[in-house]
Amino acid sequence: MPRLKVSRSALHGRGVYAAEEIGKGVKVIEYVGKRVSAREAERVAEEQLCRSSKSGTGAVYLFTINKKYDIDGNVPWNKARLINHSCDPNCEAQNIRGHIWIVSKRKIKTGEELTYNYGFGMDSWQDHKCRCGSPKCLGYIVAASSRGALSRVLKRRRV
Ligand SMILES: [Zn+2]
């Protein structure tokens, strides 16, 4: 795995940076955490969502592994939880045989901040404001697959 470093981020709080050049398609870091049942995950999500709407930032640390289990990554030993969201990210989260990996989508230069799309659904988009600063930013954090739907909603509101 490539060397990484944690430091203050221009995007939000702390961030994770490449300490060496990373090629495309590399498993950069595993997103680790506590295994929770799907039912427990619903409760945890509710709690994290509540806290994040108060602070105005996206902070839900759950990844679905399969129908039965989720990973709750809100634990101190999960360095990947510090990776920020971007609407134009250089990494993506992949479920590889039951493990969540942050995988590079393109070549990443030394010193570049790692980002991935947090992939939130459309049901709570208003709770997750985005300030990633990318030209593709919609102002809210949603999954790549929901970007079209959200931009239509936002367009309608502006009219
Ligand atoms: Zn954004």
Q: Provide the CATH number for the domain around residue 17.
A: 2.170.270.10
Distance in Å, CA 141 to ligand 1 centroid: 6
In terms of residue numbers, what domain contains 78? Answer: 4-158
Query: What pLDDT digit, counting tens, does each position of 89-111 carry?
Result: 999 999 999 999 999 999 999 99
- The Cα–Cα gap between 40 and 135 comes to 37
Q: Is 93:64 a contact under the CB 8 Å cutoff?
A: no
Domains of the chain: total: 1
- The Cα–Cα gap between 113 and 7 comes to 9
Distance in Å, CA 127 to ligand 1 centroid: 13
Query: What pLDDT digit, counting tens, does each position of 46-76 carry?
Result: 888 777 666 655 577 888 899 899 999 999 9
- The Cα–Cα gap between 74 and 61 comes to 6
E strand map for the chain: 4-8, 14-18, 27-31, 34-37, 62-64, 69-72, 84-85, 91-96, 99-104, 115-116
In this predicted model, which residue has the larger pLDDT, 54 or 23?
23
Distance in Å, CA 68 to ligand 1 centroid: 31
Spatial CB neighbours of 142, under 8 Å, sequence gap ≥ 6: 119, 120, 121, 122, 125, 128, 149, 150
Distance in Å, CA 121 to ligand 1 centroid: 15
**Range of weakest confidence among 5-14, 69-78, 122-131:** 122-131
The verdict on pTM exceeding 0.75 is yes
